[in-house]
């Protein structure tokens, strides 16, 4: 059973993007951990959904409030800080799909949300006496390389990565009263209440479950990439919150492990049985070698525990339950 620890100092936690894939798991984790705290979820529900926070919300109505608002609406954000006594912010709200953000129009939205609104949010948080601000940046701030460290050169290839990196400028606002920690998670995988399957492990698991062909870029089979299990992502955020005095004004890469497509396919096959693989013999940007080093965070005590197999098994369980639910609905 998960350790339950009440941190009395945290009264109200604002989770932006809390109705999304990672946010819904973070809200669940916060409710378990900080049983005396109130969670305010702010999300414009462009990608997130109220039902993703639903289970947490229904079980703890007095502890979770969902506000549908756009991060770019400065007045509304200010009102949220005026109405609530927020002392901690976990900032996850963002335009996320890395490669669509290079399209004209989407790149502008990405700039406004991932960069400008991040700076404004942090400025307002500081103005209204928030003590801790955890910002989830991304490994997309790097481009190509192996075992990339936090201080290594950054040349993001997507507007998403570029504006995530610019959002990290909030570190300049940090001081003894306003503590800021920036996390750079690797590609996140695994089941959450807001489960989505746009990235490779989740996508392969879903396609394998339904017996669909798995598109695999041949040249990418043996290239290592860094991944972060969703449970480790939640754990990393809690770890940052609980060690904020030591981590203030710092950036940390966060990953569970590095692996390649061949290994992912082997584990997916172990869980789902023989796969129908469509090997594609053409170049793709995701074939780049791209791993990060998690040494800095590990050396400060962070211990990832998510494994490829356990998270894929959880996805299978979830898809199984969802299937049953659909069948049940047919009965009525
Ligand atoms: N998924 C990954 O692999 C991954 C990896 C590294 C970092 N991240 C970061 O983690 C965070 C959460 O990502 P996710 O995968 O859960 O994506 P997601 O799209 O599921 O979550 C983002 C949430 O932000 C909300 N949002 C978008 N624009 C908004 C706006 N203008 N105002 C208010 N809310 C808005 C969306 O509705 C969504 O619920 C993001 O900051 C992302 O950059 C994700």
Give the separation between CA 307 and CA 170, rounded to whole angstroms. 32
- Answer yes or no: is 237 within a domain: yes
Residue whose CA is closest, atom 42 of ligand 1? Answer: 96
Give the separation between CA 268 and CA 258, rounded to whole angstroms. 16
Separation of CA 270 and ligand 1 centre (Å): 31
Which atom of ligand 1 is found nearest the CA of 112? Answer: 31
CATH of the domain at 224: 3.40.50.720
Give the separation between CA 138 and CA 303, rounded to whole angstroms. 19
Separation of CA 312 and ligand 1 centre (Å): 22
Q: Is residue 91 classed as helix, strand or coil in its secondary structure?
A: strand
Which residues make beta-bridge pairs with 134? 90, 181
Phi-psi region of 129 (alpha: psi -120 to 50; beta: other; left: phi over 0): left
Burial string for 19-45 (b: 16+ CB within 10 Å, else e) reads bbbbbbbbbbbbbbbbeebbbbbbbbe
- Answer yes or no: is 2 within a domain: no
The CA–CA distances, whole Å, from 167 to 92, 171, 225, 246, 324 equal 12, 9, 24, 21, 42
- Answer yes or no: is 4 within a domain: no
Q: Quick one: which of 176, 10, 23, 178 has its CA closest to 94? A: 23
- Answer yes or no: is 298 within a domain: yes
Q: Is residue 308 classed as helix, strand or coil in its secondary structure?
A: helix
Q: Is the pTM of this model over 0.95?
A: no
Separation of CA 204 and ligand 1 centre (Å): 21
Predicted confidence at residue 332, as pLDDT, reads: 44
Domain of residue 275: give its range.
12-328
Give the separation between CA 44 and CA 328, rounded to whole angstroms. 31
Predicted confidence at residue 97, as pLDDT, reads: 77
Predicted confidence at residue 320, as pLDDT, reads: 86
Which tokens in the block code for residue 140? 């997309």
Which tokens in the block code for residue 75? 């007045």
Separation of CA 72 and ligand 1 centre (Å): 14
Predicted confidence at residue 1, as pLDDT, reads: 45
Separation of CA 108 and ligand 1 centre (Å): 16
Which atom of ligand 1 is found nearest the CA of 199? Answer: 3
Within 6 A (CB) of ligand 1 lie: 17, 19-23, 43-48, 70-72, 92-96, 113, 136, 138, 164, 185, 187-188, 194, 199
- Answer yes or no: is 7 within a domain: no
Catalytic residues: 160
Predicted confidence at residue 270, as pLDDT, reads: 97
Ligand 1 pocket mutation, candidates 18, 22, 187, 254, criterion most atoms within 8 A of CB: 22
The DSSP H or E segment spanning 16 is strand 12-16
- Answer yes or no: is 119 within a domain: yes
Give the separation between CA 87 and CA 129, rounded to whole angstroms. 7
Residue whose CA is closest, atom 13 of ligand 1? Answer: 22
Residue whose CA is closest, atom 21 of ligand 1? Answer: 20
- Answer yes or no: is 5 within a domain: no
Ligand 1 pocket mutation, candidates 73, 96, 111, 194, criterion most atoms within 8 A of CB: 96
Which residues make beta-bridge pairs with 64? 39
Are the beta carbons of 157 and 163 closer than 8 angstroms? no
Burial class (CB in 10 A: 0-12, 13-18, 19+), 259: middle
Which atom of ligand 1 is found nearest the CA of 70? Answer: 32
Predicted confidence at residue 283, as pLDDT, reads: 67
- Answer yes or no: is 6 within a domain: no
Separation of CA 330 and ligand 1 centre (Å): 33
Ligand 1 pocket mutation, candidates 16, 20, 203, criterion most atoms within 8 A of CB: 20
Residue whose CA is closest, atom 41 of ligand 1? Answer: 92
Predicted confidence at residue 288, as pLDDT, reads: 59
Please give the chain's pLDDT, 332 residues, in tens. 445 554 546 789 999 999 999 999 999 999 999 988 999 999 999 999 988 887 666 777 789 999 999 999 999 999 999 999 999 999 999 999 766 767 777 889 999 999 999 999 999 999 999 999 999 999 999 988 999 999 999 989 889 999 999 999 999 999 999 999 999 999 999 999 999 898 899 999 999 999 999 989 888 899 999 999 999 999 999 999 999 999 999 999 999 999 999 999 999 999 999 999 999 987 665 545 589 999 999 999 999 999 999 999 999 999 888 665 555 544 44
Look at the chain and report how many structural domains it folds into: 1
Give the separation between CA 70 and CA 93, rounded to whole angstroms. 9
């Amino acid at each position: 059973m998960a350790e339950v620890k009440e941190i009395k100092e945290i009264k109200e936690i604002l989770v932006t993007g809390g109705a999304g894939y990672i946010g819904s798991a973070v809200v669940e984790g916060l409710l378990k951990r900080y049983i005396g705290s109130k969670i305010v979820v702010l999300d414009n529900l462009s990608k997130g959904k109220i039902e993703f926070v639903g289970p947490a919300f229904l079980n703890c109505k007095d502890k979770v409030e969902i506000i549908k608002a756009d991060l770019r609406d400065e007045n509304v954000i200010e009102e949220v800080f005026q109405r609530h006594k927020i002392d901690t912010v976990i900032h996850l709200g963002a335009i996320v799909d890395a490669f669509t953000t290079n399209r004209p129009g989407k790149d502008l939205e990405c700039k406004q949300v991932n960069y400008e609104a991040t700076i404004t949010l942090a400025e307002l948080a500081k103005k209204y006496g928030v003590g801790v601000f955890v910002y989830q940046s991304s490994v997309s701030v790097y481009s190509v390389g192996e075992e990339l460290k936090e201080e290594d050169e950054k040349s993001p290839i997507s507007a998403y990565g570029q504006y995530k990196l610019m959002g990290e400028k909030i570190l300049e606002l940090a001081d003894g009263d306003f503590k800021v920690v920036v996390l750079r998670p690797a590609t996140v995988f695994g089941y959450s209440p807001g489960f989505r399957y746009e990235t490779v492990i989740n996508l392969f698991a879903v396609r394998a479950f339904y017996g669909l062909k798995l598109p695999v870029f041949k040249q990418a089979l043996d290239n290592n990439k860094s991944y972060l299990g969703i449970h480790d992502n939640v754990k990393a955020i809690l770890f940052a919150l609980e060690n904020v005095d030591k981590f203030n004004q710092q950036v940390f890469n966060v990953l569970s492990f590095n692996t390649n497509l061949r290994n992912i396919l082997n584990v997916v096959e172990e869980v789902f049985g023989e796969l129908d693989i469509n090997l594609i013999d053409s170049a793709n940007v995701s074939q780049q070698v791209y791993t990060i080093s998690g040494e800095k965070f590990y050396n400060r005590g962070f211990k990832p525990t998510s494994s490829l197999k356990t998270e894929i098994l959880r996805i299978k369980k979830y898809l199984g339950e969802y299937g049953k639910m659909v069948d049940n609905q047919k009965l009525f």
